[in-house]
Chains A and B, each alone.
Chain A
Amino acid sequence: MLGSERGVVEEWLSEFKSLPETHIPNYAGSLHLKKSLVPALYRVIQDPNNELLEPVCHQLFELYRSSEDRLRRFTLQFLPELVWVYLRITASRDRQSNGCIEALLLGIYNLEIVDKDGNSKLLSFTIPSLSKPSIYHEPSSLGSIALTEGALCQHDLIRVVYSGLHPQRETFTAQNRFEVLCFLMLCYNSAVVYMPLSSYQSVCRMSSRLCVCGFPRQQQKLWREPCNRVLLDPEFMVQMLTAVYHAIYNGEWEMGREALEDILYRAQLELYSQPLLLGNAMKNSLPESAPDEPRGRKVLQVEVTPTISRISISAITTASIRRHRWKREDCFDYSTDAELSLTVNPPSLAQNHHHPPWDAAAKEERGGRPNSHHSSSSSIIPPITLEDADGMSAGEDSFNINDPDEGFSSGASNSSQPSGTKVGGSVGQRGGSLNSSSSSIKKAITARLSRDKEREREREREKEQEREREKAAEKQAELSADHQAAVRRHHQRQQSPPASITLDAIQLSPIKKHLSFPVGPTLVRTGSTSSSKSFDCMNFSVNGGEDEREEGLGGSDKEGGLPVSGSHRHSTISLQEEHLIRPEDAQDLLSPGAPLTKQSRSPSFNMQIISQV
């Protein structure tokens, strides 16, 4: 050790001792300006016979004990080196010279396991649930969290304790050694951003050496100092990996990668699954080449990535399979009915049932005299259908009542729905009238159909498709009744204290818009911002989602307030535009207020989720 280095260290030792309490913040701010101090301290720590080691350890502990974060971090930057020296000496069983480092490590540990009030710290985090909206997503848009039993079980947020209730430790023993060291590395990792590059180098060096010393691989290293194998703990190796991972992306590309390789090597030899798992993932996700500025902190790179869906539509994905499966099981899938109808129907039918894309005029015409349209497509359908359909603005011509199941199933669904509410009642009645009339005419239709054999064959596919639609419509009616209940619940809830959630509050984005942007803050709508307290207030966000949907549908019926507008919308368009009803309905059902009854898991419900895919 050079004399000048020694001088620097001694000066540092004496300076802090004579420092009055009030100057500590200033001192903390100026500590990093002493450029030669940190390398000199590393020298002291690395040399177990240095007589300065003990006062240095003591001083580092004093710094750590101070209330100043910057001083604590100053000490923390030496942690990897201290751990390395400690473990190496332990492996060589030369315990006498190890005392002060041990004491320092234990001191830091005992300080860190308790919070300010002296209670044991419990480190935990919450596993988020995708089924609840957050500022980053809406659950409904992620169709893939299908309602499996498992997913339902995990709807609650889970708080996980990952470290906590560590007892005070007076001495290191073979058994508590890695418990203490793991926790210390956890502390280091929680402040790793604040560490200087020299500390990253140290952590990489430590990891590399601990993992290879005493193993054949040490022969390939420049560092050949003979050393016993150091016993390692899998959890400790995971902590090493975390630190090394950070180093790799924050300036220590080369050393970090080498350390990663060495940890993997050791994890393989020890057959430790945890570090292997993490190490493999880290190695596999490394960018191929070293980033531009290997010594800077600018390794974190993000590129403009083309986001065009590069995957051809015909490829089979989970999403497409799901669509397919529902179709096959004769469970109606109206997410895709628009496309479906185009692909399934033979051209001759398509011209009957689907208007050419841009024929707006024709559409208006049809709106005026839907009757003629129907008679032209199939003369056997009596005009009575239209009476049912009139409220639904006969825009859709798909209510062809010839499905024998139809009357039965929709009747059942109706009876199962208590039509207690005004709105729900009206929907129910409408559905009921539809049913009764349909069942009354059904026989006649089918009878005639049986006579028209050649037509029959032609209509076969059409029927299938229409049956789908019909069922979907029914379910929609059912759902809308469900929805009424849900909305009512929300409404009731809104009476209670957090009633301040207005539509405005939901629409606006609370995050500051920093630009003097001519557009104004509402232009880019911000999703579910009500849930920015995201994780625990579910009912707010449900309202947010609902609002979203209304917006999506034009927002024309906003003035009516939530429940009324919801019902209005449903009654007017639900039957004709099934595919437009956004699955926020599903979200409503998912709210914690609505228990997950059988009803909420009914096919229609699942279908709504899945239809998002």
Chain B
Amino acid sequence: MTARKSGSRLETEIERCRSEGQWDKIPELVRQLSAKLISNDDLGELLLGECKLQTYLKENPIKQGASPRGPRPKLVEVRKHLTAALDRGNLKADYIQEASLLMAKLCYVEGEYRDALGHYSRVNLDDMQLVGAPVYRLSMIAEAYATKGLCLEKVPAASPSLSNKNTGSPSSNRGTTEREQEIITCYEKSGDIALLYLQEAEKVCVSGIQNRSPKPGPTAQDQELGYFLETGLQRAHVIHFKNGNLTQGVGRFREILRAVETRTTQNLRMTIARQLAEILLRGMCEQSYWSPLEDPPTVSPLDDPTRQGHTHSKNYSLSRLIMCISLLLLLISESMANRDAVLSRIPEHNNDRIISLQSASVVYDLLTIALGRRGQYEMLSECLERAMKFAFEEFHLWYQLALSLMAAGKSARAVKVLKECIRLKPDDPTIPLLAVKLCIGPLHWLDEGECFAKMVIDMGEKAAEFRAKGYLAIGLVYSLKATDASLRSTQEDYQRKALGAFQRAQSLSPTDHLAAFYLALQLAVSRQIPEALGYVRQALQLQGDDVHSLHLLALLLSAQKHYHDALNIIEMALTELHLNLLYTKVKLESMCRGPEEALLTCKHMLQIWKSFYNLTNPSDSGRGSSLLDRAIADRRQLNAMTLPDFSDPETGGLQDANTLGFSSMFSVCSVHATSIAASRVEQALSEVASSLQSSAPKHGPLHPWMTLAQIWLHAAEVYISMSKPAEASACTQEASNLFPTSHNVLYMRGQIAELRGNIDEAKRWYEEALSINPTHVKTMQRLGLILHQLQRYSLSEKVLRDAVQVNSTAHDVWNSLGEVLQAQGNAAAATECFLTALELEASSPILPFTIIPRAL
């Protein structure tokens, strides 16, 4: 070997050509060689044989699974050369080995597996020198091991083995397992040497650039792994998995992955990383994973499913790792797949593009599975977004991106992506329905929602089971539009449309409780109480513990003035996290049981709020740009929202799906005497409050703070009903700290001022509230009353008429209007107003029906 290094230039050149696979140059070099050294004729034969064999293999690559067929004319020539080289026997030992290996390879190609094994047994592969060997020789040895493994697999195990190890011909059973072991050993060695070869080859290539000219050996980087090397690298773990030896297979994967990376192995690494991740995701779980740095469990259930008992002890500290490792592997694969995805769409590259797209899409699917089951939709959506640059017209990736955006709560973008999905697959009713869901819910884009819902309805019979959903969706859109509308005629128009849609949905899908429930809700909003009760009962029969149905039932009962029944229903339905129901409960309690109970409920709500929002915090501890983005978005939202921040649903404004419709029917509360209990409650309330304040950060999602402000305002309202202005004022101050410019806060201040008898101040507060939200009916009503007291009748009438325009079902506004008209001497009109008020009051629930959230 050392002699070689100082050998002639020609020899170096030959060695390099062999290493770099430039077989076409060999014949020429051999001619030069034979011209120089006559004695080395055999070497020439060897080289010619090799180059012809390799050229043949390059032209006729061996396909996976296809077994090589008998001798072919071209190979006869090869055999001639090699036999010539071997027969004369005046080659150096190294070259004899090489010739034998080539002969064996030739035998394999011709399908003569036994002969091949014979050759291998003569060479004794294990003794071959690897250290310092020239690069081509490493590849040759690696191929030899792989070929030997292939031959051993092909030759039936029962037959006497030709391998030098098995000549003892042991009993057949032991022989089989031993042979399997031998096969695996062959492949593993082949794989290891192949990796070594690739590393060395790259080194040579690098130093080639260094030492010679800037021009590298042609395409050193896309040196191809032949069939044999590839088999050697991959077949070992394939066999492990085939035999169910998950543990060893995974071990093998890791070894390959841990080898130093070379350019040639990049593709291999991507494949292997993906496959290992696949195995981890599909075949393992937290409790069965072991760390790459410790010995694998001696007996793992993975290897032998029939044996349940085993000695592997659970290692909790590792349970996190499996997720981390599979993610890491997938991210590695992803970044490679992403980098190599073909972007151009010209026809010539179409095949390449499809291949790269498929491999990338497999990786993304695995990534989805890995991240999705841990709820990491945010990160997932970022990953999928990277795939978009090669996903033009690829429905699957688009759809997955849309879904991940939706799951991550990025609604606006999700809708945009869903639009593209609809374009790609116009027949799928699910996609527009998903879009409607977002439009109705977090986005409150009612016009877009209507558009999407109509798409589903237009599909007609094709939409099958989704047709009912389509009607439900459009009904909800109309219903929400009705709530938003400021003109009475449009309101009624939308309500009629909504009712029709819900009825259609209900008749199409009579077993869907949602259809019945929304139909009931719509009927209730239009004050058809008995019919609504019928449908809500139907909904409850289909889905007995649906909270919203129960809530609606309670409100309906309260509209019929069965307050105690309503309270019972609420208490039945009530569980901790439904603040929405608790609002109703507060109302009902102060109605039926006095304000002390209501205050207790308020306190309870504060506690829930605290425990609920503190509990969910740890999961948000992760840092990252996405989180930051969200925070920024929230802050922006907060700024934009200072005006109508949480308006009650009667008048529109913010429509968060989770917004627990704020409402303020304060005047309903009757005033009761205070008691000792009340002061105790008050103390408890402020205790909770102070603890809240200390930990209250002012950033983060908006929703919790709105909820908190609402709770405070409810408490203030109860205090007002108890004629305790000081406490009410303190509560309002808490809400004001959170949302100083909320019209609800200003309205509450006005009420407190009124309670203190400070009419002018109250008027000022109400005017401020109206300047923030000009359609706040409660404020308008109170302002109207104050103006009435100040005897400014015409202005009062104007304000109250506006209020009636905004909400025609507010009976106390009608009542006030009547009073004003009466004071103006317009008795006839006043009577009419009073009658309307009376009529409306008979069907008025304790809180507006629209407190119930409407979402798909």
Chain A interface (Cβ within 8 Å of chain B)? Answer: 28-29, 31-32, 69-70, 73, 90, 93, 122, 124-128, 130, 134-138, 141-145, 149-150, 153-154, 156, 158-162, 164-165, 167, 173-176, 189-194, 196-197, 214-216, 228-229, 231, 235, 238-239, 241-242, 245-246, 248-250, 268-269, 271, 273-274, 276-278, 280-282, 284-285, 296-298, 300-319, 321, 337-338, 341-342, 354-360, 363, 396, 509-512, 515, 517-520, 523-527, 529, 532, 535, 548, 552-554, 573, 577, 579-580, 613
Contacts and interface: CB of A to CB of B under 8 A. Distances in A.
A551 to B, nearest CB: 8
Contacts of B238: 302-304
Nearest to B628: A153
Contacts of A319: 339-340
Contacts of A312: 349, 352
B389 interface: yes
A189 B285 contact: yes
Given A273-B403, A311-B352, A304 B254 contact: no
B618 interface: yes
Given A173-B575, A357-B217, 8 more contacts: A149-B625, A158-B622, A193-B302, A231-B546, A277-B407, A302-B275, A354-B215, A519-B196
B230 A306 contact: yes
Q: Which 8 A-B pairs have the closest CB atoms?
A: A174-B545, A281-B368, A316-B344, A128-B328, A355-B213, A273-B406, A285-B365, A277-B403
Contacts of A189: 285, 373
Given A126-B320, A308-B267, A518-B126, A527 B258 contact: yes
A311 B344 CA distance: 12
A229 B107 CA distance: 66
B511 interface: yes
A297 B126 CA distance: 35
B704 interface: no
B430 to A, nearest CB: 5
Given A190-B286, A311-B342, A526-B258, A510 B430 contact: no
A132 to B, nearest CB: 10
B314 A69 contact: yes
For A167, A317, A396, the residue with the greatest tally of chain B CB atoms inside 10 Å of its CB is A317
B301 A193 contact: yes
A316 B345 CA distance: 9
B723 interface: no
B527 interface: no
Interface stretch (B185-193, B493-501, B753-761): B185-193
Contacts of B210: 573, 577, 580
A318 B337 CA distance: 10
B578 interface: yes
28 contacts: A69-B314, A127-B379, A160-B622, A165-B615, A167-B615, A174-B573, A175-B547, A175-B576, A190-B287, A190-B319, A194-B308, A235-B375, A238-B372, A245-B281, A250-B283, A274-B407, A278-B373, A304-B230, A312-B352, A354-B213, A355-B215, A356-B215, A360-B9, A518-B126, A523-B130, A526-B260, A532-B292, A553-B206
Contacts of A554: 207
> Which interface class (under 10, 10 to 19, 20 to 34, 35 or more) fits B?
35 or more
B24 interface: no
A145 B352 contact: no
B543 interface: yes
Given A194-B287, A300-B283, A304-B230, A174 B213 contact: no
B555 to A, nearest CB: 18
Contact of A305 (B222, B271, B373): B271
A189 B430 CA distance: 29
A193 B342 contact: no
A249 B283 contact: yes
B323 A125 contact: yes
For B206, B284, B308, the residue with the greatest tally of chain A CB atoms inside 10 Å of its CB is B308
A308 B466 CA distance: 46
B60 interface: no
Interface in B208-247: 209-218, 222, 224-225, 230-231, 234-235, 237-238, 241-242, 244, 246
For A128, A214, A529, the residue with the greatest tally of chain B CB atoms inside 10 Å of its CB is A128
Contacts of A517: 189, 192
B749 interface: no
Contacts of B399: 280
Given A136-B273, A174-B547, A317-B343, A519 B130 contact: yes
A144 B196 contact: no
A307 B191 CA distance: 14
Contacts of A317: 339-343, 356
B244 A298 contact: yes
Given A70-B309, A318-B339, A515-B188, A162 B375 contact: yes
